[in-house]
Structure 1
Amino acid sequence: MPDRPDPGIHIPRPSTLYCSPAGGGVTSVVWFREIEYMRGFAALAVIAVHISMNYTQIPTVNLLALLNLFIYIAAHFAVPVFVFISGWVLAARYAREYPVMTFYRRRARTILLPYLFFTALYLMVRVDGTIGFAGVPTPGRVVEALLLGTAAYHLWFFVLIIQLYLLYPLIALGYDRFDRAGTGLCLLLLLLIVQPLWNAGAHLVGGLAGPEWYTVLIRLFPSHLFYFVLGIHVARHTGQFRSTLRSLPTIGVLAAAGGGALVLGGMWVASALLLGSLTSTTLAVFCIYRLLEPFYYIPVIAVLVLAAWRLEGAIGRVSAAARSFGDYSYGIYLVHPLVIAAGASILFSLTGLSWADWLTYPVLFLAAAAVSYGVVRGASRVPYAGYLIGESRGSREPGNRSSSHLAERGDFEIDLPR
C-alpha cells in the first residue's frame, strides 16, 4: 500500500512569488510554506534560549535552575533550524544559473546594514540580564565586535551566515557534483561526521590553548555546514524528502526528538548536580554534547516540518498567527534581546521579582515574544525600516505597494537566530 500522510496533516504545495531582479524583468521564486512556520518555531526557541540562559544568575543548584538549564540546552535547535532553512531557501531560489555578483550584492544589502546598525546599538546598550548603558566602546572593541559578532550574545550568527553566503556558490556547486554522481547522501554522511568532530575539537583547542580559540573556531562555517548542505539537499529533492517523512511514524519521530532532548539536557543537568555548580562543567561533557547534538537536531527538524503541515491544514487564527510570527522572525531575532532586558528591568523594579523566581521566566517569555513581534510589525510600516529589520514575505507579494522599494532585494533568504 502506498504511503499516505497522517490524518489531519496537510502537505502544502510550493507557491510561486515574483520579484524584480537587479537587472530588471521578473523572476519566479519557489517558496515552500513549511518554512514560514519553521522560522516562527525557531524564533520562539531563540527567545526561550535567551531567557532560560539566566539560570546562571540563580545562586543555588535548585529545581528552577536545573529546569532552565534543561530548556537552555533543549532549545538550542534554533540555530541548526535557521541554517537548514537558509540552505533550503537559497538552493530553491538559485537552482539554475545566476549572476554571482548579483547574488553577492543582494546578500550584502540584506545583511550588512542590519549587522552594522545593531552592532553599533548593542555596543552602547548592555542587554545581559537587564538593560543599561555600556559606555562608548574603544576602537579595539569595535573591531572585535565586527569580526566576531560579540557586541551582544546573539550577533555571532551574522558572522556565521556571512561566511555561508560568501561560500554558497562553491558549496552548492560541490553538492551538485556529488548529487549528479548519485552520492549526495554520502556527502551528507561525511559532513555528519566532520562537523561534530570540528565542534568537539573547538572545545578541546579552547580548553588547551585558551577560550579565544574556541570563540573563533565555533564561528567558522564548518561548525554548521552539515545543516546548510542538508537544506540544499532538501531543496533539490523536496518531493523525496516529503515522501520519506510521510512514511515515518509520527510517534517515532516525536520519540526520537524527545529522547534526544532528554539525553542532551539530562547530561547537562547531571553534570550540574554532580559538580554542584551551574557555571562549570567538564571538558568531556562539552565534547560529548557536540558529538551527539546533530542526532537530536535532525529529528527536531522533522518534527517542525510535521507541525508546519498540521498548521497549514488548519484554518483559524492559530495558523495565521504562527505564519505571521515566522514572517517577522528576522526582525524579532534582531530586537528581542532589547525587549528581554528592558522587560526584566521593568518587571524586577515593579514586582521585586528576580531571576531566582519561578514567575519571571514564563512572564518574560510571553512578553518578549508578543512585544518583539509587535515592535517589528509596527516598525515594518515605517518607510525604509525594512533595510534594518527585514521585510515580511507578505509585504513583497504582487499588488502590495507598502514595500515596493524593497522588491528587488530578494530578502527571502533571511533566516537568523542565535
Structure 2
Amino acid sequence: MARTDARYNVTELRGLACLLLVAYHTVGVPGSGMHVADDSLYRYLTGSFELIRMPLFTFISGYVYAARPVRAGALRVFFGKKVRRLLLPFVIVSTVFYLLQTAAPGSHGNDAPEEMWRIYVFSYAHLWYLQALFLIFAAVGVADAFGLLATPRAFAPGFALALGAFFAIDTEANPWSVNEAATLLPHFLLGVAVRRFAATFRQPRVWALAPLGLAFGLAVHQASLLHLVPIQIGWKSGVALLCGMGGALTLLRVMPSSGVMRTVGEASYAIYLYHTFFTAAARIALVQLGWQADLLVFATSLGAGIAGPMVVEALAVQRPWSRVALVGRA
C-alpha cells in the first residue's frame, strides 16, 4: 500500500491502530485472552484506549476513501468492490473462526452462538467491524453519488444526521452490527472531511481544539476507569466522541514516519482478519509449555498476532483465488 498523503503518515497511523487492536485482543475481555485479573495493569492499559482504538481505524478508512470517493453512476462498481473486499473475507473468516471456536472451547472466549447462521446476521467476535464498515461505506457511497457531501454546506447536515444516529440507534438485536455502524459513522465522516476540506482542517485553531478535546475526554475516561467518579463511559457518549475524534486528529498530526509501523500498517487488513487465530495459538502453546508469565505471554502473543497475518497475506497473494477469498484483493 502506498503512503496515502505526503503530509501525514497515515499508513504508520494505521499500524499504530493495529498494535492497539492486537494488544486488546491479546489481553482479552474477562473470560477470554490472558485471563488476567480485572484490576491488572494489562486490562487497565488496553481499557485506556477503548474509546480511541476503533474510531481511529474508522477515521483512517474515511480519510483513505475520500481520495477515491464514489462518483455519480459508479455505485454498482463501488458495491462490487466492497463485497469482494469486505463481505467475502467476512464469510470465510467468520466460518473458520466459528468452527475453531466451537471445536476448541475457551480458545477464543465463549461468545459463539449455538446456531451458526447467526454469525452472518448478527454481531460476532471481532468480525462485527466488517459488517459495520460495509454499512458505513454503503451510506456514505450513496450520499456521495448524489453529491450530498460534496461541499461544507452540504456536508454539515449529513454530519449532523450521523451524530443523531450515533446517540439514537441502539437496537437490542443489533442485526448486521447496525449499532456499531451508527457509533462509528461520525468518525468515518470526520476522516472524509479532513481530506475533502483540507484547508479548513489545516487552520491552527482547528488543530488546537483536537488535543484539548482529547485531553478532557481522556481525563473523564480515566476518572471512570480508576473509579474516581461513579460513572461508566461507553461508546455512546459525548466523552467517547471527544476521545475518538480528538485522538484521531491529534494522532494524525503527530504520527512520525517509521519503517516498522509502515510495514505493520501496510498489512493492516490481513492483521485485522487473522490476528486472533495467532494470538490464541501462541498463548495456548506457551501455557502448554509451562510458560505462564504475563509479560512473556503478552509479548509473544502480540508478536504472533502481527507477524502471523503478514505471512498469511504473503501466501494468499500468490494465487488469484486465495488473494480474493482470503484478503479481498483483486
Is TM > 0.5 for Structure 1 vs Structure 2?
yes
Q: Please show how residues 273-292 of structure 1 align to structure 2 within 5 Å.
A: 285=232, 290-292=237-239
Q: Which amino acid aligns with 2:314?
A: G
Find the structure with the greater CA-based Rg. Answer: 1
Cα distance, 1:217 vs structure 2: 6.7
The 3 A distance-change label for structure 1 pair 112 and 321 is same
CA contact (8 A) 2:316 2:323 kept: yes
Per the normalisation by structure 2, the TM-score is: 0.80
Q: Secondary structure at the match of 2:126?
A: coil
Matched, 1:142 2:116: yes
Per the normalisation by structure 1, the TM-score is: 0.65
The 3 A distance-change label for structure 1 pair 299 and 195 is same
Q: Please show how residues 40-59 of structure 1 align to structure 2 within 5 Å.
A: 40-54=15-29, 58=35
**Alignment match, 1:104:** 79
1:350 to 289, 298, 302: 289
Consecutive unaligned residues in structure 1, runs of 5 or more: 1-11, 16-31, 206-211, 275-283, 312-318, 392-405, 410-418
CA contact (8 A) 1:332 1:376 kept: no
1:261 to 218, 234, 237: 218
Question: What RMSD, in angstroms, separates the aligned Cα atoms of the two structures?
Answer: 3.6
Cα distance, 1:122 vs structure 2: 0.9
Cα distance, 1:33 vs structure 2: 6.0
Cα distance, 1:128 vs structure 2: 7.3
Matched, 1:166 2:166: no
Matched, 1:224 2:184: yes
The 3 A distance-change label for structure 1 pair 290 and 389 is farther
Q: Please show how residues 19-418 of structure 1 align to structure 2 within 5 Å.
A: 34-54=9-29, 58=35, 61-62=38-39, 64=40, 67-94=42-69, 96-126=71-101, 130=107, 141-150=115-124, 153-172=125-144, 176-177=147-148, 180=151, 182=153, 184-185=155-156, 187-188=158-159, 191-192=162-163, 194-198=164-168, 202=170, 212-213=172-173, 219=179, 221-241=181-201, 243-244=202-203, 248=207, 256-257=213-214, 259-270=216-227, 285=232, 290-308=237-255, 310-311=256-257, 319-353=258-292, 357-373=294-310, 375-384=311-320, 385-390=322-327, 409=330
CA contact (8 A) 1:71 1:265 kept: no
2-side partners of 1:162 and 1:186: how far apart?
22
2-side partners of 1:261 and 1:336: how far apart?
27
Consecutive unaligned residues in structure 2, runs of 5 or more: none
Deviates more, 1:176-185 or 1:80-89: 176-185
Cα distance, 1:107 vs structure 2: 1.4
Aligned length: 322
